[in-house]
Amino acid sequence: MSKLSSEKALVKGCRKGKRQAQQKVYELYSPKMFAVCLRYVRHQFDAEEVMTNGFLKVFSKIDQFKEEGSFEGWIRRIVVNEALNHLRKNKRHQAEVDIENISEAAELASAEDNLNAQDLMKCIDQLPEGYRTVFNLYAIEGYSHKEIGEQLGISTNTSKSQLSRARVLLQKYVRNQEKKTYSIDHE
């Protein structure tokens, strides 16, 4: 059975309320969705809560899945929205930064090549919550600045500004990480 046909069978089973299908969907996608949650919510307990609430929403709204796009992408969007709702609800969002004209920071590509994914995720995790949220939504999830603004209740310019500042901070973190790696390698 192909991945697509087994995915369709799981969706069909979930629509019928079959627990076995729901469990299989959870087992297949929860590891990736937990990683998504951890990018937005720093504490493991909160990330687990967000993920659980996300999957409850997936199962309760399964009839809204149109089967036109990726099922995983649909689940991811629900989980990301749940993470954003969690941040809003708990009022731990960083205050909006002042909007000012900031030129885009140099790309992180060359520095990223020297770091493994785990080190890069540690750097992203060090960002202030507001910057981290915008960075994740834009760079990892692929949201536009307009969509980010709508999701977070901020202006498009604020989203751009926070992304720019996040990139500047990431460059600093990456340089520091590279210095540590370089000094360890050459001792």
Residues 98-136 pLDDT 10s: 223 223 333 343 344 445 667 777 788 888 989 999 998
Cβ proximity of 164 and 127 under 8 Å: no
In a domain, 94, yes or no: no
Position 61, amino acid: K
Q: How far apart are CA 187 and CA 184, in angstroms?
A: 6
pLDDT computed for residue 139 by the predictor: 85
Same domain, yes or no: 49 and 18: yes
- pTM of the shown model: 0.63
Q: How far apart are CA 181 and CA 176, in angstroms?
A: 9
In a domain, 140, yes or no: yes
Number of domains in the chain: 2
Same domain, yes or no: 117 and 147: yes
pLDDT computed for residue 34 by the predictor: 93
Which segments of the chain have a pLDDT < 70?
1-5, 91-117, 178, 180-187
pLDDT computed for residue 94 by the predictor: 39
Same domain, yes or no: 136 and 73: no
pLDDT computed for residue 171 by the predictor: 83
In a domain, 177, yes or no: yes
Same domain, yes or no: 154 and 121: yes
- For residue 48, the enclosing domain spans 3-89
